[in-house]
């Protein structure tokens, strides 16, 4: 048997899990940063290669976290590209997509993208790419600059905001951007909340001096998300483009998405760990502790919203599962404590990059709530396809990047391994999470005290072991990560169907 490149590493005794299959007792041959061959007894074929024994455990594609905020100017106490990507590999994520943010006064995107390249280049432990946040979509940006950034820069996605004064766009501006992204084949991401509802509620609360962290959730009721979700789906149908609605938290908003999908509209959605595990009670906290869990959309009061998010993961409502990692330090005067006088000044966002994969694996897969195939689909395969990386990321197949995560064997896998090999498998002692165990540069985690029965044992980036939990932890270096030039989404495209007889794009 011949392979195109020399084999550097063989992972043996793997239970390979992809979005479609579970293949036990497999070996994976890796060379030149790529997966070269899958099969059995490959160590005998390549005796000079290094060997890593998975001991029967699940081996899944490296995680793709497609919603990560790193080293942004509006968050001076957050993670840098170095510290954020270091925590990524420790949690099984090998690719992150961060944001290059335009401000209202920026008249060109090119200096912004160059600046973010300078921040990230040589500093990342995992592979990375950029989304564009558009706040000033002038005709020259839409018609002249964005085509260049797509064609030459490999940036094929934008994020638009319906809330936050410095960021939000009017519906008409959103439609103008949609016309451009449709033409360019870009993925359009939306933060969907009704800004004026939130501002009105906030004014009412402040007038009554209800300003503790908990009232952040009161100011952003789920109905603000519900309305904006329905509206953005309508705008996308009018413009005939696929969209991805980010960080969804509301049961009704998820129902809007599901109904759109049953109508065959190319509407995708994302949810995050915080919306599976926490209610707004986390914002009450002791003293000012509730500020640690201020994020938007806000944590919901009713646990039925949590159940709906789990249901959406299982039934396909949600295309991706991302962290929305956007933390600020808690004990810092310009971090969370900037909002001691009123919740409106508390920086939004939570840490979650490192805990994204383990939290869903332990509390979804191992509890039987989620299949391992659906786990792979949500955390790796779908984001890779949606954001134009499906040819190299998101699955375990020859020709793809050798980005892999090896977990600890489950009890059943360990028993099977011993029966086949005569050797005992390694095990991980379950633990309650402490922030000191994590590798970000943030002084808290909302998952403090959560029980974990498993964690990535090894993380492999393009064939290199960058995380070995039992032998040194982070073994990779900043600079291991490469910038990814991305193409068009392979998950969906415009339908060519319009709301009436007018073809908006006919020449």
H-only helix segments in 145-263: 146-151, 171-184, 195-207, 214-219, 222-239, 251-262
Burial label, 303 (beta-carbon count in 10 A; 0-12, 13-18, 19+): exposed
Closest-CA residue to 299 (of 265, 333, 261, 343): 343
User: What does the alpha-carbon distance between residue 278 and residue 283 come to, in Å, rounded to a whole number?
Assistant: 10
Domain-by-domain residue ranges, the chain? 9-60+395-474, 62-386
- Structural tokens at position 235: 């705008």
- For the chain, residues with pLDDT lower than 50 are none
Q: What are phi and psi of 342, to 5 degrees?
A: -160, 145
CB-based contact 57:453 (threshold 8 Å): no
Q: What are phi and psi of 465, to 5 degrees?
A: -75, 110
Q: What are phi and psi of 140, to 5 degrees?
A: -65, -35
Tally of residues, the chain: 507
Q: Is the bond preceding 297 in cis, omega lying within 30 degrees of 0? A: yes
β-pair type (22-31, 58-61) = unpaired
**75-123 residue pLDDT tens:** 999 999 999 999 999 999 999 999 999 999 999 999 999 999 999 999 9
Predicted TM-score (pTM) of this structure: 0.97
Closest-CA residue to 338 (of 153, 193, 213, 482): 213
- Supply the pLDDT for residue 505: 82
- Supply the pLDDT for residue 2: 62
User: What does the alpha-carbon distance between residue 448 and residue 435 come to, in Å, rounded to a whole number?
Assistant: 6
Domain 9-60+395-474 and domain 62-386 have a common topology: no
Domain 9-60+395-474, CATH class in plain words: mainly beta
> Is domain 62-386 classified as CATH 3.20.20.450?
no
Q: Is the dihedral of CA 256, 259, 265, 268 positive or negative?
A: positive
């Amino acid at each position: 048997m011949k392979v195109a490149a020399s084999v550097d590493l063989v992972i043996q005794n793997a239970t390979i899990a992809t979005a479609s299959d579970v293949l036990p007792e497999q070996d994976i041959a890796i060379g030149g940063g790529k997966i070269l061959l899958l099969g059995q007894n490959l160590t005998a074929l390549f005796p000079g290669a290094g060997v890593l024994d998975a001991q029967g455990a699940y081996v899944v594609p490296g995680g793709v976290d497609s919603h990560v905020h790193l080293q942004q100017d509006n968050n001076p106490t957050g993670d840098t590209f170095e510290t954020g990507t270091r925590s990524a590999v420790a949690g099984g994520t090998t690719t992150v997509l961060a944001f290059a943010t335009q401000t209202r006064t920026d008249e060109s995107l090119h200096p912004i993208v160059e600046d973010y390249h300078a921040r990230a280049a040589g500093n990342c432990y995992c592979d990375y790419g950029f989304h564009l946040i558009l706040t000033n979509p002038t005709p020259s940006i839409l018609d002249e600059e964005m085509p260049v950034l797509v064609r030459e820069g490999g940036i094929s996605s934008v994020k638009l905001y319906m809330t936050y004064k410095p960021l939000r766009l009017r519906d008409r501006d959103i439609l103008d951007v949609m016309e451009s992204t449709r033409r360019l084949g870009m993925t359009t991401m939306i933060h969907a909340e009704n800004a004026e509802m939130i501002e009105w509620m906030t004014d009412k609360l402040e007038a009554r001096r209800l300003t503790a962290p908990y009232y952040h959730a009161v100011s952003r009721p789920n109905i603000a998300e519900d309305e904006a979700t329905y509206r953005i789906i309508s705008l996308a149908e009018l413009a005939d483009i696929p969209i991805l609605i980010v960080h969804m938290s509301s049961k009704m908003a998820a129902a809007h998405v599901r109904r759109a999908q049953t109508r065959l509209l190319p509407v995708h959605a994302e949810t995050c760990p915080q919306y599976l595990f926490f209610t707004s009670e986390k914002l009450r906290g002791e003293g000012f502790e509730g500020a640690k869990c201020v994020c938007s959309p806000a944590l919901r009061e009713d646990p039925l919203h949590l159940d709906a998010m789990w249901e959406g993961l299982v039934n396909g409502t949600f295309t991706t599962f991302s962290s929305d990692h956007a933390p600020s330090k808690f004990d810092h005067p310009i971090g969370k404590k900037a909002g001691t006088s009123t919740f409106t000044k508390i920086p939004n966002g939570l840490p979650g990059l490192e805990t994204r994969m383990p939290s869903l694996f332990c509390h979804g897969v191992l509890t039987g709530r989620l299949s391992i195939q659906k786990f792979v689909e949500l955390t790796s395969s779908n984001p890779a396809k949606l954001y134009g990386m499906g040819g190299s990321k998101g699955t375990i197949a020859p020709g793809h990047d050798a980005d892999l995560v090896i977990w600890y064997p489950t009890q059943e896998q360990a028993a099977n391994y011993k029966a086949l090999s005569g050797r005992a498998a390694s095990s991980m002692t379950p633990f309650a999470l402490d922030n000191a165990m994590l590798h970000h540069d943030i002084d808290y985690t909302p998952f403090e005290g959560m029980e974990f029965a498993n964690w990535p044992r090894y993380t492999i980036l393009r064939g290199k072991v960058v995380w070995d939990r039992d032998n040194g932890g982070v073994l990779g270096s900043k600079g291991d990560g490469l910038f990814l030039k991305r193409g068009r989404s392979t998950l969906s495209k415009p339908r060519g169907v319009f709301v009436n007889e007018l073809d908006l794009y006919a020449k």
